[in-house]
């Protein structure tokens, strides 16, 4: 079943390596028959959080925020691509995510992490899990973690020969996991309205 998936990426750095991983995910999930869209925090350009989308009177939220709120509500699932900054999450991605709350509810999310080093952003992924759960998403247990991002993926998002097998294997399990939860959530929404 085709699903609408939003891939969120949050680096504001001038030499962004993680965009390679976001491109890989978009291509891979699209090849599996899904409607996939990149949400790049730097491009969306929301300010540092002052008011959440829900705190604006109807019709008065900034246009970029209102547009993104509609996309989040219409999506079947989410993928968060996160680098690791000093053992924590990327501030740009966290800021973008915090502008919304109810819009996220009752949909699955997957976490994909990366770093320039060998730990592949594992600590950032661990930090994201309770954050996304608190925001009403079901976080799928499978992940994709890519270390030495500059050597593992080419600029266009194609895995290098050395990383192809490992990344492909991780992606296959991750995508199947996310698909199962998106299908389950859609089936449940069809028979019963979410409780809040």
Give the model confidence (pLDDT) of 126-175 as tens digits: 999 999 999 999 999 999 999 898 889 988 888 888 888 999 999 999 99
Is 18 in contact with 81 (CB distance < 8 Å)?
yes
Quote the tokens at residue 51: 């008011």
Quote the tokens at residue 22: 């976001």
Please work out, in degrees rounded to the nearest 5, the angle formed at the alpha carbon of residue 67 by the alpha carbons of 47 and 171: 90
Q: Taking residues 78-107, report their average pLDDT.
A: 94
Residue 196, domain member (yes or no): no
- How crowded is residue 2: how many other Cβ atoms within 10 Å of its Cβ? 10
For the cut 80, the answer to whether the pLDDT of residue 78 exceeds it is yes
Q: Which residue range(s) make up the domain with 118?
A: 4-191
Cα separation of 32 and 26, whole Å?
Answer: 10
How many residues are there in the chain?
196
Quote the tokens at residue 9: 């990426």
Q: Residue 148 maps to which CATH number?
A: 3.40.50.360
Cα separation of 63 and 65, whole Å?
Answer: 5
Cα separation of 121 and 107, whole Å?
Answer: 24
Residue 104, domain member (yes or no): yes
Is 194 in contact with 105 (CB distance < 8 Å)?
yes
Quote the tokens at residue 185: 């959530």
Whole-model pTM? 0.95
Domain count, the chain: 1
- Name 157's Cβ contacts closer than 8 Å, sequence gap at least 6: 20, 21, 22, 23, 24, 25, 26, 27
Give the model confidence (pLDDT) of 50-77 as tens digits: 999 999 999 999 999 999 999 999 999 9
Cα separation of 132 and 135, whole Å?
Answer: 5
Residue 60, domain member (yes or no): yes
Residue 46, domain member (yes or no): yes
Residue 19, domain member (yes or no): yes
For the cut 90, the answer to whether the pLDDT of residue 40 exceeds it is yes
Closest C-alpha to 30, from 175, 183, 186, 191: 175
**Furthest CA-CA distance within the chain:** 52
């Amino acid at each position: 079943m085709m699903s609408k998936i939003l891939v969120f990426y949050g680096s504001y750095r001038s030499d962004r390596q993680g965009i390679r991983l976001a491109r890989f995910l978009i291509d891979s999930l699209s090849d599996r028959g899904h409607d996939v869209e990149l949400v790049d925090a730097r491009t969306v350009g929301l300010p540092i959080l002052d008011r959440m989308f829900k705190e604006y009177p109807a019709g008065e939220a900034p246009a970029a925020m209102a547009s993104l709120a509609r996309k989040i509500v219409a999506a079947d699932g989410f993928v968060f691509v996160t680098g690791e900054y000093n053992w924590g999450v990327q501030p740009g991605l966290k800021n973008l995510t915090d502008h919304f709350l109810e819009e996220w509810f009752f949909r699955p999310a997957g976490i994909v992490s990366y770093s320039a080093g060998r730990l592949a952003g594992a600590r950032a992924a661990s930090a994201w899990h309770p954050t996304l759960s608190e925001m009403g998403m079901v976080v799928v247990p499978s992940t994709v973690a890519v270390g030495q991002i500059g050597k593992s993926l080419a600029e266009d998002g194609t895995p290098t020969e050395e990383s192809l097998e490992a990344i492909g294997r991780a992606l296959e399990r991750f995508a199947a996991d996310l698909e199962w939860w998106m299908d389950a959530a859609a089936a449940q929404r069809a028979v019963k309205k979410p409780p809040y």
